Amino acid sequence: MNTADIIVIGGGLSGSAISLGLLENGGGNVLMFDEQLPTQRLSRGNFGLTWFMCKGAGHPVYAKWSRMACIEWPEFAGKLKQETGMDVELEWTGGAVHALGDAEFKAHAESIKTIQNTCADAGIDYPVEMLDRQSFSELIPDITLGDEVTGAMYTPSQGHVNPLKLLTAMRSDFQKKGGTFLGGQTVSAVVPRPDRTVLVKTCRGDYQAGKVVVASGHGSARLLSALGEKLHIYPQRGQLMVSERCRRVLQIPVLSVRQTPDGTFLIGLSTEDTALNNRVTAEAMKRQAGEAIRLFPMLGRLNWVRGWGAIRVMTPDGAPIYTRLNGHDNIYAVALHSAVSLAPLAFSIVAPWILGVGEHPLIQKFSNGRFHV
Ligand SMILES: Cc1cc2nc3c(=O)[nH]c(=O)nc-3n(C[C@H](O)[C@H](O)[C@H](O)COP(=O)(O)OP(=O)(O)OC[C@H]3O[C@@H](n4cnc5c(N)ncnc54)[C@H](O)[C@@H]3O)c2cc1C
């Protein structure tokens, strides 16, 4: 039978970042499977923000976790570039959430105060401020704001990346360092054995490992339920749309609109309850395009060339799940939204915890057991 020290099931952003961290921390022979189903393309179909703003209101631990990830992002991107030669196109230009009208401006300002208090309790800063219309406009001088825009909340300490390049760079670094990536190989079952190893059954034969990490997005629930673990996740569809290329006029990403270094605009902030149906709909596209045009009227003059839907992995409190399975302490599961933003921590904190070479004090706060009532 094929053997490995650790098997990671799922080669999305989480599985790839963790696998790389496992290798770099002495994990030995690490094998990563990915089935590459078109219905599970969120690691290839997301918006690419590396973001902490607005995350963790009422959840100090998640606020701190998100902030910690952002602090590590520039170094993580530099490391990937140095080791693979691949530029993940991280732009650390800050990020904004615009306000339409006075009521929204006031609500944004209040939400900053709330999270600032939350963060102060958790011993971290929350470097976010409100900009009035004039200051917001001066920050992005090459693009004209719509008449209803009253300002924005803004932080200089976050940014955006090319998520496809990120995924490629992490997988490539993993393989360069000796890891094995088996794409198109579906895992059908994870079976603990009496000798404390784990049998991983795949469509191309069985494998045996000392440890297993289930990082299979929406595919995780089925694998884990057979082990008696109910994973507390639910699906939420998001739709994104991409414009033709044009001159670079927006250097700072806004939560719902960003422009990439090659000139395309991306729009996307829809949230829908559609189970695992990832199709696009004219209604959602029209609604989010309309909102984006209220922010930047010039978007109404562009051709929109592509659109897609992808299904977020959401948890009841919005924070990630990093968990060791009850009764199977060599089987781990991770499931989360915001795996782009949190990739540096998957590499630097989650992987060492799985290996047992370092347990960050916050990690136990993210167990799946927090939702068991
Ligand atoms: C519209 C949209 C916009 C988003 N924008 C952002 C953003 O701006 N910033 C941010 O940080 N996050 C964003 N996200 C969230 C982010 O994309 C996800 O958190 C991330 O992709 C999750 O990665 P993952 O590796 O945990 O899961 P997945 O991407 O689901 O990866 C799991 C992998 O496991 C594989 N798999 C499943 N079952 C099996 C099996 N049985 N055997 C083998 N392989 C299996 C799947 O094929 C898949 O490739 C967005 C998501 C969406 C949908």
Q: Cα 295 vs. chain centroid, distance in angstroms? A: 25
- Please report the pLDDT score of residue 269 as a whole number: 86
- Residue ranges of the chain assigned to CATH 3.30.9.10: 97-158+234-314
- What does the DSSP 8-state code read for residue 272? B
Q: Residue 137 has which token pair?
A: 């406009």
CATH code assigned to 2-47+164-232+317-371: 3.50.50.60
pTM score: 0.97
- Please report the pLDDT score of residue 121 as a whole number: 82
- The alpha carbons of the chain give a radius of gyration, in whole angstroms, of 21
Give mean pLDDT, residues 58-83.
96
Percent of the chain with pLDDT over 90: 93
What distance in angstroms lies between residue 216's CA and the mean position of ligand 1's atoms? 8
Measured between alpha carbons, how far is 30 from 8 in angstroms, rounded to an integer? 7
Q: Cα 343 vs. chain centroid, distance in angstroms? A: 7
Give mean pLDDT, residues 306-326.
96
48 backbone dihedrals φ, ψ, rounded to 5°: 80, 20
* CA terminus-to-terminus distance, the chain: 40
Number of neighbouring beta carbons within 10 Å of residue 98: 27
pLDDT higher than 90, residue 329: yes
pLDDT digits (tens, 9 = 90+) for 219-274: 999 999 999 999 999 999 999 999 999 999 999 999 999 999 999 999 998 999 99
Per the CB < 8 A criterion, the answer to whether 369 and 326 are in contact is yes
pLDDT higher than 90, residue 104: yes
pLDDT higher than 90, residue 123: no
Report the nearest atom of ligand 1 relative to the CA of 219: 38
Ligand 1 lined by 217 (C-beta under 6 Å): yes
Q: Which residues of 315-339 are buried (b: 16+ CB within 10 A; e: fewer)?
A: bebebbbbbbbeebebbbbbbbbbb
Q: Which residues contact 262 (CB under 8 A, 6 or more apart)?
A: 245
Per the CB < 8 A criterion, the answer to whether 149 and 136 are in contact is yes
Measured between alpha carbons, how far is 170 from 266 in angstroms, rounded to an integer? 23
pLDDT higher than 90, residue 357: yes
Give mean pLDDT, residues 319-342.
97
Give mean pLDDT, residues 340-357.
98
The residues that bridge with 97 in the sheet, in sequence order, are: 153
What distance in angstroms lies between residue 298's CA and the mean position of ligand 1's atoms? 32
Q: Which CATH architecture has domain 97-158+234-314?
A: 2-Layer Sandwich (3.30)
Report the nearest atom of ligand 1 relative to the CA of 16: 25
Per the CB < 8 A criterion, the answer to whether 9 and 215 are in contact is yes
Element (H, E) at 165: helix 163-176
- Please report the pLDDT score of residue 247 as a whole number: 97
Measured between alpha carbons, how far is 290 from 294 in angstroms, rounded to an integer? 6
Ligand 1 lined by 60 (C-beta under 6 Å): no
Per the CB < 8 A criterion, the answer to whether 219 and 10 are in contact is yes
- Residue ranges of the chain assigned to CATH 3.50.50.60: 2-47+164-232+317-371
Per the CB < 8 A criterion, the answer to whether 98 and 254 are in contact is yes
pLDDT higher than 90, residue 350: yes
Q: What are the CA-CA distances from residue 114 to residues 44, 59, 122, 203 (Å)?
A: 33, 11, 13, 49
pLDDT digits (tens, 9 = 90+) for 168-197: 999 999 999 999 999 999 999 999 999 999
- Please report the pLDDT score of residue 58 as a whole number: 83
Ligand 1 lined by 238 (C-beta under 6 Å): yes
Measured between alpha carbons, how far is 30 from 24 in angstroms, rounded to an integer? 11
Measured between alpha carbons, how far is 371 from 50 in angstroms, rounded to an integer? 26
Q: Cα 65 vs. chain centroid, distance in angstroms? A: 13
pLDDT digits (tens, 9 = 90+) for 1-44: 899 999 999 999 999 999 999 999 999 999 999 997 777 789 99
Q: Strand, helix or coil at 287?
A: helix
pLDDT higher than 80, residue 83: yes
To test the ligand 1 pocket, which listed residue (340, 345, 347) has its Cβ within 8 A of the most ligand atoms? 340
Q: Cα 26 vs. chain centroid, distance in angstroms? A: 25
Per the CB < 8 A criterion, the answer to whether 65 and 350 are in contact is no
What distance in angstroms lies between residue 203's CA and the mean position of ligand 1's atoms? 21
Q: Whose CA is nearest to atom 30 of ligand 1?
A: 217
Please give the mean pLDDT across all residues of the chain.
Answer: 96
For 69-138, the DSSP string reads HHHHHHHHHHHHHHHH------B-S-EEEEEEHHHHHHHHHHHHHHHHHHHHHTT-----EEEEHHHHHH
Report the nearest atom of ligand 1 relative to the CA of 188: 41
- Please report the pLDDT score of residue 57 as a whole number: 84
